[in-house]
Structure 1
């Protein structure tokens, strides 16, 4: 199916999701309807267990859609093949609270992995891109360090660099600033906001961090699997 470029890159309609089976089956999301415009920075908030991360993983092709519709970059995910999921994931950037760095690779090599998922990469161009993004995140002097020699905040910034280096169309981030001090956290979010303004990159962030709320274009609050507020900033 061809992509419609003027269409919102993320749309959900009547989205429900469940965990468990039989008597243990629990509904995690209830009739979630969303439309997130291109280039925006949206924050998902709510208490633990409210469905924020479940929604993020459904949008990111990390879970199968059970009921309802998710349109991602013009493609319907309900009933999509694994091949379609893989193809769409390559157009996304993921930032998780658990940075998931490879301990045997340097910071630069970890960032390069964000390019290698897209296929063959020119070694020099790839390294230049990795060094550039690490420099923007204040890690120029840590490029050749292994994760074991980096602080928690530095590891998280490497994970952010890995997500951004391929210029993804959508960035999905789960607590990206949790391990960062105020200045570093705001710098990361400002980078994401700038990417939206300059390149049209769409960002969705799950967070409990009140320090970054004012930087959002929109704040959506979930409770018990339902959207209870949706505020434009």
Structure 2
């Protein structure tokens, strides 16, 4: 069994802008995400949480330092390499980003067919299976307009998981949900992630869900300033 870290970051720095407008957003970030772990990243708005998430998610180029994802160094990676790595990841955002003209099942199928490598029949089976896992077996043919906020986010969870990603990155996935829906979504991520051995990094301001995390990292002004290991705690 491979026990190498899913993510290893060393001395990572990041800037936005050029010249006199250049501003540093991340400072000397060092971080490891172990296989199967569930980590919450917290901190005030503007602290760099989403910037770090997008770097790990291959949505930005690494400028300075080392970021190894699934054994591959991303500093100096080409655009094509970043695209290939993104296909091994799952993404969930605060806005569910569902296509309003497509059913729940069709939205999830899009996640399976994003690279054109999954046949339609297999994508259909995978979509129905995932929607069943997230408690929406009876909503496969529903349009988003006929789903509640919590149900829409569960469809987004199914879409993110349909490709069986090694790493799931979630940016404020419960911010727009009520307490019960937020708990349901995070419990789903924990249960399915544990069953699949998937690693999860969740950016959140939602204190209601922090007790689900194995580890809580605090980011302030672009620096990791705190870490709480919650494994083994009730």
2:170 maps to 1:173:
yes
Q: Which whole-Å CA distance do the structure 2 matches of 1:145 and 1:191 have between them? A: 20
Secondary structure, counterpart of 2:132 in structure 1: helix
1:223 is matched with which residue? Answer: 220
Q: Which whole-Å CA distance do the structure 2 matches of 1:70 and 1:46 have between them? A: 21
Per-residue Cα deviation, 1:142-185 (whole angstroms, up to 9, x for no partner): 22122233333322221111001121110000011122232332
Unaligned runs of 5+ in 2: none
Match among 107, 125, 129 for residue 110 of structure 1: 107
* Equivalent pair of 1:40/1:193 in contact (CA under 8 Å): no
- Following superposition, the deviation at residue 118 of structure 1 comes to 4.1
* Equivalent pair of 1:52/1:222 in contact (CA under 8 Å): yes
Mapping of residues 151-162 of structure 1, within 5 Å? 151-162=148-159
Mapping of residues 59-208 of structure 1, within 5 Å? 59-208=56-205
Match among 9, 12, 37 for residue 15 of structure 1: 12
Per-residue Cα deviation, 1:89-126 (whole angstroms, up to 9, x for no partner): 11100001121112221111010011002433233332
Q: Which whole-Å CA distance do the structure 2 matches of 1:76 and 1:42 have between them? A: 21
Q: Which whole-Å CA distance do the structure 2 matches of 1:195 and 1:15 have between them? A: 31
CA RMSD of aligned residues (A): 1.6
Q: Which whole-Å CA distance do the structure 2 matches of 1:226 and 1:74 have between them? A: 24
- Following superposition, the deviation at residue 84 of structure 1 comes to 1.0
Secondary structure, counterpart of 2:160 in structure 1: helix
* Equivalent pair of 1:15/1:69 in contact (CA under 8 Å): yes
Q: Which whole-Å CA distance do the structure 2 matches of 1:192 and 1:87 have between them? A: 24
Q: Which whole-Å CA distance do the structure 1 matches of 2:178 and 2:129 have between them? A: 22
* Equivalent pair of 2:43/2:218 in contact (CA under 8 Å): yes
Secondary structure, counterpart of 1:192 in structure 2: helix
TM-score (norm 2): 0.93
Per-residue Cα deviation, 1:33-69 (whole angstroms, up to 9, x for no partner): 0011010000000000001010000000000111111
Q: Which whole-Å CA distance do the structure 2 matches of 1:110 and 1:135 have between them? A: 14
Q: Which whole-Å CA distance do the structure 2 matches of 1:28 and 1:151 have between them? A: 36
Match among 10, 23, 26 for residue 23 of structure 2: 26
